[in-house]
Amino acid sequence: EAGVAQSPRYKIIEKRQSVAFWCNPISGHATLYWYQQILGQGPKLLIQFQNNGVVDDSQLPKDRFSAERLKGVDSTLKIQPAKLEDSAVYLCASSLNPQGAGEQFFGPGTRLTVL
Amino acid sequence: GNSVTQMEGPVTLSEEAFLTINCTYTATGYPSLFWYVQYPGEGLQLLLKATKADDKGSNKGFEATYRKETTSFHLEKGSVQVSDSAVYFCALGGGTSYGKLTFGQGTILTVHP
C-alpha cells in the first residue's frame, strides 16, 4: 500500500514570495490533515478536511494561508505572501476514521525555509 | 482546550539502559493517547496507542499505560538499542477533538553503543 505522498520535499523562498505544497493521501482515506511543525516543537494542526469539506481550520492563518481539496483526494496548501516565521516542516496526514483511535498516517513532509 | 506536556530533553542513554519519557495531558472528554516516533530523515509513524483508561499500548518493546487518575501516558522500554535513536512525540486525539491530534513538543533520544 502506497503511503502519503508529498512534494516538494524541500523549498527555499524569499519572504513575501508565494509557495504551494501538494499532498496525495492514502487511497480511500477520507480525512486529510495539514500540520505545521516548527523546529523543536510538535506538529500543530492547520486544517482538516473530511472528503472535500473543511472540518477544522481554526488554526490556519487565513490572511496568508489557503488550502483546498477539490475532488476529495489530493490537496494543496498555499502560503502567500510568506513570512520568516513560516519556516517549518509542513506535514500532510490522512486517516480512515477521524474519530477515536483512528491512526493518522503521515507523509515525509516539506521543509520550507523562508529567507 | 487540549494540551500535552512531555519531559524536557534531549535524553542520552547507553545501549541496554532503561528508558522513561514522561507525558502528561489535559483534555475534555475521553481522548485516545498515542506515541509517535520520527526516525532521522523519515516521517512520523505511530509507535503505540491506548484508547481508554488502564489500557496498555505496546510495540517493539515499548510500552505505555493510560493513567486517567494521573493524566499520564509515560513511555518505557526496558533495554534501548542504538536503532531507537529518534524523536518521540506524545499526542492525544479523539474525544471531542474529532480526529485532530494535539502533540507534545517531542523528546530527542540518543542511544550510544
Q: Output the tens digit of pLDDT for each of chain B's 113 residues.
A: 889 999 878 999 999 999 999 999 998 888 899 999 999 888 899 999 999 999 999 999 999 999 999 999 999 999 999 999 999 999 998 766 567 899 999 999 999 99
Residue A72 or A4, more confident: A4
Interface A-B, measured as beta-carbon pairs within 8 A, has a size of: 68
Q: Quickly count: other Cβ atoms within 10 Å of residue B109's Cβ.
A: 21
Measure the CA angle with vertex B42, ends B41 and B48; round to 5°. Answer: 140
| pLDDT for the residue numbered B97 | 58
- Phi/psi of residue A64, each to 5°? -135, -20
Judge contact between B111 and B80, C-beta under 8 A.
yes
Closest CB to B94: pick one of A33, A100, A108. Answer: A100
Nearest CB to B43 within list A40, A44, A108? A108
Looking at residues A46-60, what average pLDDT do you find?
Answer: 91
Residue that is written with C-alpha cell 482546550 in the block? B1
Tell me the average pLDDT across A12-31: 95
Q: Cα A13–A22–A40 angle (5° rounding)?
A: 60
Shortest CA gap A82–chain B (Å): 24
Q: Does A111 touch chain B (CB under 8 A)?
A: no
Helix (H) or strand (E) holding A67: strand A65-68
Nearest to A105 by CA among A3, A2, A1: A3
Beta bridge partners of residue B32, listed in sequence order: B93
Neighbours of B25 (CB within 10 A): 20
Among chain B residues, the shortest Cα distance to A97 is held by B99
- For residue B4, give the chain A residue with the closest CA: A42
Three-state DSSP at B82 gives helix
pLDDT tens digits for B29-61?
Answer: 888 999 999 998 888 999 999 999 999 999 999
Q: Measured between alpha carbons, how far is A74 from B46 in angstroms, rounded to an integer?
A: 22
With a cut of 70, say whether residue A98 has pLDDT above it: no
Residue A1 binned pLDDT confidence (cut-offs 50, 70, 90): low
Indicate whether A99 pLDDT > 80: no
Residue B61 confidence (pLDDT): 97
Angle at CA A51, nearest 5°, toward A36 and A6?
A: 40
Give the pLDDT score at B99: 74
CA-CA distance, A67 to A44, in Å (whole number)?
Answer: 15
Return the residue matching grid coordinates 483546498: A68
